[in-house]
Structure 1
Amino acid sequence: MDISALSFYAGYAFCQAVYVQSILESDALMVPYVVDWGEGGPHASPYPAQTQADAVQLQIEAIKAIEHDSRAWSAGRDGLLKRSDGSEIDVLVITAGAEGVKHNLEVMHMYKTTPFTLVGNFIVQPPHDAFLEEQGGNRNFFSNFVEGVKAHRFSDSCMGYVENKEK
């Protein structure tokens, strides 16, 4: 598996996160979820719990189980990112991993809740260039990511949020 598939899977999970966050009440937290890319196509499973920390732990355990079976996965949750001025902003946290890929991919995007608006640009970890170099220099990362978004049934809505993001 290479970066093409991984970025596609991350795009799909990003679209799911944008859709869910866009319909939540402003004070609600998204239930972490995992998309299993095993046979039969994508299968998303939510991991609710009494606290967000417990839900994230359930998500991590689900990812480990999928990794153990050598399948590809992508996942989404919300989180907080500390800014250089000490303030915090909400972020969508998307991760993806697969057999044969040394490091998991993490993509974050800042957002505001009322009204739901994406803010700024994508943040890719590990750094985009290092990840591409590790994966043989595939320069189609973002085009594959967008293809993953387009594979989701709410892609038009998601792309609207991306195109109208706050700078």
Structure 2
Amino acid sequence: MDHEYIGQLLGFTLAHSASVVETLQADEVMVPYAITIKEEQQELVNFEAETQEQAIQQAESKLAEFSETVDAWCYGQEGAINQDDNTINVLYFKVWVKGMTAALEAYQPIQKSPFKLLSNIQIQNFAEAGLDEAEGENFIAGLNQGVDIHPATASRWDSWFDTDAAEDADASTDSAAE
């Protein structure tokens, strides 16, 4: 399994999501979306609905279908998690490539206004997705490449990153390889 490619898909999806959320008003939410890859052809699919909850349900159903019909897909949505009695805004991701036992899941803590990336991306199920922990460095290299190749994000990435929060974070993308 190509860990670098999986990392690239996640990095590109992270970069795309960040570029979208940065342009939204504080009370707006990014429309969940997926990028599918079949025979090197990419397609962007937006999941618009009356509510964010309905859009996410629609996306979950479609992702199961994609696993039957495409070579790879990546998915992004905006959400929130509870951590230490605080609600934290996050960008949530899933990435799947043929051969994986489950979609890789990750989230990126963010500050909505002004937009900032807080800490590093958090990988939820590296080994459970069928990825080899010994390939963690290749995965991280791919993740960074995915961010770098996004045309609207690469030049602004450093300005979005909250370096104070990153230094204070307990976990990092390195945890993907642990």
Measured against the shorter chain, the TM-score band is 0.7 to 0.9
Q: How does 1:83-162 map to 2 (within 5 A)?
A: 83-84=83-84, 86-126=85-125, 128=126, 130=127, 134-135=131-132, 137-138=134-135, 139-161=137-159
TM-superposition CA deviations, 1:121-147 (whole Å, max 9, x none) = 211011x5x369843621211110111
- Structure 2: runs of 5 or more not aligned: 166-178
Paired-residue identity, %: 23
Q: Structure 1 pair 113/157, CA: closer, same or farther in 2 (3 Å)?
A: farther
Instruction: Give the number of aligned pairs.
Output: 164
TM-superposition CA deviations, 1:93-148 (whole Å, max 9, x none) = 0110111011211121111111011112211011x5x3698436212111101111
| Aligned Cα root-mean-square deviation (Å) | 2.1
- Structure 1: runs of 5 or more not aligned: none
Q: Which of structure 1's runs of 4+ aligned residues deviate more than 3 A? A: 130-134, 161-166
Q: TM-score, normalised by structure 2?
A: 0.83
CA drift at 1:160: 2.5
Q: Which moved more, 1:34-43 or 1:20-29?
A: 34-43
Q: Which amino acid aligns with 2:132?
A: Q
Q: Structure 1 pair 87/3, CA: closer, same or farther in 2 (3 Å)?
A: same
Distance 1:34 1:111 in 2: 20
Q: Which amino acid aligns with 1:74?
A: C
CA drift at 1:70: 4.5
Q: Which amino acid aligns with 2:37?
A: W
